[in-house]
Amino acid sequence: MASPAIQRSPLQRLSTFKDTPPPVTTTTTTATPTPHSTTPTPLSPAPSALDSFSSDPIFSSFLSSDFDSTRFSSAALSSGSAASRIEKLQEGLRLLDSQLRHDVLSRHQDLLQQLSSIKAADSALSSLRSSVSSLQSSVKKIRSELSEPHRLISTKTLQLSNIHSTAELLQSTIRTLRLSKKLRDLFDSAPDPEKLDLSKAAQLHFEILSMYNESHLSGIDVADSELKWVSEIGQKLRAEGMRVLERGLEGLNQAEVGAGLQVFYNMGELRGTVDGLVSKYKAMGTKSVNVALDMKAISGGGSGGGGFAGPGGVQRSGTPQIGGGAKAKEALWQRMNVCMDQLHSIVVAVWHLQRVLSKKRDPFTHVLLLDEVLQEGDPTLTDRIWEALVKSFASQMKSIFTASSFVKEIFTVGYPKLFAMIENLLERIARDTDVKGVPPALTQEGKDQMISAIETFQTAFLALCLSRLSDLVNSVFPMSSRGTIPSREHMLRIVSRIQEEIEGVQLDPRLTLLVSRVITKVLHLLAERAEYQISTGPEARQIMGPATVAQQKNFTLCQHLQEIYTRLFSLMGGLPAIAVEIMSPALDAIYRVACDSVTSLFQAMRERLESCILQIHEQNFATLGMDAAMDNNASPYMEELQKSILHFRAEFLSRLLPRSASAASVGTEFICTGLVRNLASRVLIFFIRHASLVRPLSESGKLRMARDMAELELAVSQNLFPVEQLGAPYRALRAFRPVIFLETSQLEASPLLQDLPLSVTLHHLYSRGPEELQSPMQRNRLTPQKYSLWLDEKGEDQIWKGIKATLDDYAAKVRARGDKEFSPVYPLMLKLGSSLSANES
């Protein structure tokens, strides 16, 4: 390694830099000085060695901030070229030394100027040191002159502060004693607590305590002795104030409640007192609920050994022993009544307290007392007390439902009574707290919470109600025996039980609604079981012989269901509209089953009567002899129709229709009466339809048809239904009889047409027209029966379209012949048909 270089001082190196010319490798150019310049021109800067070092692979590592000489030496030795590295480093040192010499020479003048500035600064610092030393001497002299006055001022200031504190303490003590004397005088002037100004005494008591605590009078003998007496007076004031407040709440006296609250407000204890009162009422309500449902106390055997001794005692399961059930039941309801009264008193008292708090203000500060008790967002007093009462009541009800089978049975069977108690409680609270400008004690949500507390018993009651009624229906209509019709007494038992269930809850609309849903299920079950008993098959449909056994069973079932329907329909008249709406579908199901039991029979009777009427087309209503026209006997088809009606009346309808007016229900029609009315209406309409289709119809034929209509009217009125009560079908029959005798020219203006269906009038006009004017039945080559079925399916507008097609065919035939005149019925039919189109549009 190279030997270390000889250390020289900066001045030596500076002189060397000045005397030693630059290296040969560095070319310098000396500028020619100007005539006025005395400063030599600096040498031109040499190229920076660092630029070449940064790109050199060896020297660039020396520029790194984390260069380690040991690591570099180890790397050089391990590379095997240590000698070349040394030469490289020496070359670099020479290059750096040359660069430094160049930089010093180029800044020689600046360095000399900096040296003179340092000398001037050293001189200035010497002068400053002298001035600072003189200032320190002056400060020491001033400190020695002020120290004694400062000590005296500090002492006097402390003394003055102590004097002020003592004076304030004495003033506070004197004021406290004066206030205490006022309080004594106030009590001495009113030996009777009733005449004592509690509000003023409470204010003095609060001021004394505040003065004592704020002024820190503890330790002053006279103040401590007075404080003991004042504390005793405070206890008396609290007791008297609470007595006045409770008396006012018990009697709902606003003045006394306000006076009591003012006492505690003046004492600064209003919020705590109110919270204590609410907690007290909570405990009273909880205790009342617990006592009401205490089976040991109810059974009268709760003393001593746990209530198991003697008759009437309560067992561990909550069930009274033999002989004590009735007594325990009566005692339970009595205790529940007492509990409801106590809960009512508690809620009304707390509401009254809240009412006074919301109205009363302090006479001096005008602060609303309620704002001192409740902060924004806090629940009201009534909400707090009601929430606690409902929670306790619900907990007890839930516990008693699972723990005592005896109480569970009483409250389940007597749920309407239990519900009525709750409803009465809620109604009384709402009525007694309904004051204008004051919120009521309970919200709707609060009422619903109380009702929800007994929801388990409600569910059990409804299940029991459904079970009782379903069991009764199953016993009357057992699934094991089909075709066995129960007696009227058994059917009426179902109605009586349903009536009992409704009457038990009728006073409460909500409970009535719930029971109505149960009854609806039972009625659907009844309808299902009754439908299962209906006899079907040929025996149930036969109409030619006497009533079969199967038909008689169906008749009996229909009558039983009719009576059930009638009685329940009458019972529904006193129920709320929504309950009627719920039960109506079930009643309709009963009605449908009753109808289904005889529907097949009525369908067969209808088909038979229609087949008799269809025979009108086999009769000759054309030109008849005078003898035939004057014959008073009915046509053969009419005689057969009359015989069938008489047979139906004797064998079937007499068993189905009520025998007297009293048998029919009031406000609802007998089921079979409605079916017979529909049958009678159908017979009249069907006859008019096919009588209008008779063609040709001579004058003698009209007389015969009129006689048939009279016979039909008589037969229907006497054996089926009074024709005067049939309405439109009867008016049509009465109108058709004179219409057939009118001239064609008179028909358009006749008011009789208003009572006839348009299709009947148009069909009748075919009988007045030429043969080439074919009816739709003739045009389509249909039988009277098929055409009648088509008429049943279509409306008047569709029927008119079919008739219009025949009129168009007729007009085409006339024009094809070259005729210009039409039958008089043609324009009349067009006009009548066009009036239908005009009315529809």
Q: pLDDT for 687-703, tens place per residue?
A: 999 999 999 898 889 99
- Cα gap 156→390, rounded to integer Å: 71
Which pLDDT does position 43 carry in this prediction? Answer: 42
Domain with 125, as residue range(s), is 114-233
Considering the domain architecture, whether residues 414 and 349 belong to the same structural domain is answered as yes
Instruction: State yes or no: pLDDT of 589 exceeds 60.
Output: yes
**pLDDT for 335-357, tens place per residue?**
999 999 999 999 999 999 999 98
Cβ pair 672, 562 in contact under 8 A: yes
Q: Are 671 and 803 members of one domain?
A: yes
Q: Which residue has the higher pLDDT, 632 or 790?
A: 790
> Per residue in 699-750, pLDDT tens?
889 999 999 999 999 999 999 999 999 999 999 999 999 999 999 999 989 9
Alpha helices in 42-81 (DSSP H): 49-55, 69-79
> Domain check: are 215 and 278 in the same one?
no
Q: How far is CA 806 from CA 696, 760, 785, 802, 826, in A?
A: 17, 16, 20, 7, 10
SS3 assignment for 253-288? CHHHHHHHHHHHHHCCCHHHHHHHHHHHHHHHHHHH
The three-state (H, E, C) secondary structure of 303-365, written as one string: CCCCCCCCCCCECCCCCECCCCHHHHHHHHHHHHHHHHHHHHHHHHHHHHHHHHHHHCECCCC
Q: What is the pLDDT of residues 534-582, one digit of tens each?
A: 888 899 899 999 999 999 999 999 989 998 998 898 888 888 899 999 9
Q: Where among 408, 431, 453 does a domain terminate?
A: 453
Q: CA 448 from chain center: how many Å?
A: 12
Residue 357 and residue 228 share a domain = no
In this prediction, residue 301 carries a pLDDT of: 43
Is residue 248 situated within a structural domain?
Answer: no
Percent of the residues in the chain that have a pLDDT greater than 70, as a whole number: 87
Q: How confident is the model at residue 293 (pLDDT cuts 50, 70, 90)?
A: confident
774, 812 Cβ separation under 8 angstroms? no
> Of 631 and 505, which is predicted with more confidence?
505
**pLDDT of amino acid 106:** 85
Residue 39 has pLDDT above 50, yes or no: no
Do 252 and 259 form a contact (C-beta atoms < 8 A)?
Answer: no
Statement: residue 613 has pLDDT above 90: yes
Task: Among 396, 426, 453, identify where a domain stops.
Answer: 453
| Residue 574 located in a structural domain | no
Task: Name the phi and psi angles at 656, rounded to 5.
Answer: -100, -35
Residues 816 and 692 in one domain: yes
Percent of the chain with pLDDT strictly greater than 90: 39
Say whether pLDDT at 805 is over 90: yes
422-443: per-residue pLDDT in tens?
999 999 999 999 988 888 999 9
For residue 616, pLDDT over 90 is answered with yes
For the chain, count helices (H), then strands (E).
34, 0
Within a domain: 125: yes
Return the pLDDT at 760: 94
Residues 663 and 744 in one domain: yes
Is the pLDDT at 486 greater than 90, yes or no?
no
pLDDT over threshold 70, residue 14: no
Q: What is the pLDDT of residue 13?
A: 41
* Predicted pLDDT of residue 165: 81
Q: Is 172 a member of any domain?
A: yes
- Least reliable range by pLDDT among 87-91, 249-253, 600-604, 801-805: 87-91
pLDDT level of residue 299 (50, 70, 90 thresholds): low
Q: What is the mean pLDDT of the chain?
A: 83
Mean pLDDT of 588-594: 93
Tokens of 497: 């039980």
Residue 27 has pLDDT above 80, yes or no: no
Instruction: Examine the domain organization and report whether 278 and 203 are in the same domain.
Output: no
pLDDT at 12: 38
Average pLDDT (152-179) is: 85
- β-partners of residue 368 are 361
Q: Looking at the structure, tell me whether residues 135 and 279 fall in a common domain.
A: no
Residue 828 lies in a domain: yes
SS3 annotation, 484-521: CCCCHHHHHHHHHHHHHHHHHHCCCHHHHHHHHHHHHH
pLDDT digits (tens, 9 = 90+) for 352-366: 999 998 888 888 888
* pLDDT for 31 beyond 70: no
Q: Tell me which of 563 and 3 has the higher pLDDT.
A: 563
Q: Which residue has the tokens 């005889």?
A: 598
Q: Are residues 812 and 670 part of one domain? A: yes
- Overall average pLDDT of the 741-768 stretch: 92
Amino acid at 709: M
**Total number of domains in the chain:** 3
User: Which pLDDT does position 167 carry in this prediction?
Assistant: 86
Q: Is the pLDDT of residue 6 over 50?
A: no
Residues 712 and 798 occupy one common structural domain: yes
Asked if residue 386 belongs to a domain, the reply is yes
Between 507 and 282, whose confidence is greater? 282
CA distance linking residue 779 with residue 175, whole number of Å: 127
Q: Kindly state whether residue 548 falls inside one of the protein's structural domains.
A: no
Average pLDDT over every residue of 209-214: 81
Give residue 108's pLDDT: 82
pLDDT of residue 659: 62
Judged against a pLDDT cut of 80, whether residue 408 lies above it is answered with yes
For residue 662 the two structure tokens come to 């009293």
- Does residue 274 share a domain with residue 223? no
| Whether residue 195 sits in one domain with residue 296 | no
770 is a domain residue: yes
CA distances from 93 to 26, 43, 86, 90 (A): 16, 22, 10, 5
Average pLDDT over residues 278-297: 87
Residue 418 Cα distances to 85, 336, 341, 399, 423, angstroms: 113, 9, 14, 16, 9
